[in-house]
Structures are given as C-alpha cells and as structure tokens.
Amino acid sequence: MRKLIFAVAATAALATSGMLMSGIAEAAVTGPSHAMRAAVDDLNTLQDVQYRFQGRRHCWSGRGWNGPGWYQCGYHARKGRGWGGGDGWNGWARHR
C-alpha cells in the first residue's frame, strides 16, 4: 500500500511541476547582431550616383555581393546582377 501511495504522490508531483514549468520560450539577443547591421545598411535609400556607363547609373559599394566595387545603383545586394568592376574599373576612382 505504501508503494502505491508513493507512486501516486510522485506522479502528481511530476505532473504539477510540468504544468508550472510550461510556458512560452522566447529568444533573446545576446550581443551585437552583424546581420541586423547589414540589413539596416541595405535600407539606405540615398545613393550618390558617381558615374554613368552605357546609360546606367553606377555607385560604389564596399559591401556588394561580389565584394567592393562598382554596381548599378541599387543592385549591390542582388546577387548576379549589376556588377561593373572593382576599383579602377573604366578608370573610375571611388570617393573616400
């Protein structure tokens, strides 16, 4: 009889503790988020048009999909599109 009472009490304790511990798990940011910083940088809506080539505007991007270089303005994050060339392409110099 003692074993039965102990088993029922242990089962009730486990069930109660499980209900008390259940809740919503939430994630927390624990440090600087480089991905968030890159996303905010991509939201920059102002770009200086520095040169035109074949009727298209080109801007310098230090963080484009193909590395630093000249991209069609607004295309630095569109992988496979808009790449012109690196520093010195068409004799162009980036403004520092």
CB atoms within 10 A of CB 84: 21
**Total domains present in the chain:** 1
User: d(Cα 45, Cα 48) in Å, to the nearest integer?
Assistant: 10
pTM for this model (two decimals): 0.49
- Let me know if residue 79 belongs to a domain: yes
- Let me know if residue 16 belongs to a domain: no
- Let me know if residue 10 belongs to a domain: no
- pLDDT at 1 (0 to 100): 83
- Let me know if residue 95 belongs to a domain: no
The tens digit of pLDDT for each residue in 2-35 reads 888 988 888 888 777 766 666 666 666 666 666 6
Structural domain that includes position 63: 47-90
- pLDDT at 81 (0 to 100): 93
- Let me know if residue 60 belongs to a domain: yes
The tens digit of pLDDT for each residue in 20-77 reads 666 666 666 666 666 666 666 655 544 556 788 999 999 999 889 999 999 999 999 9
- Let me know if residue 51 belongs to a domain: yes
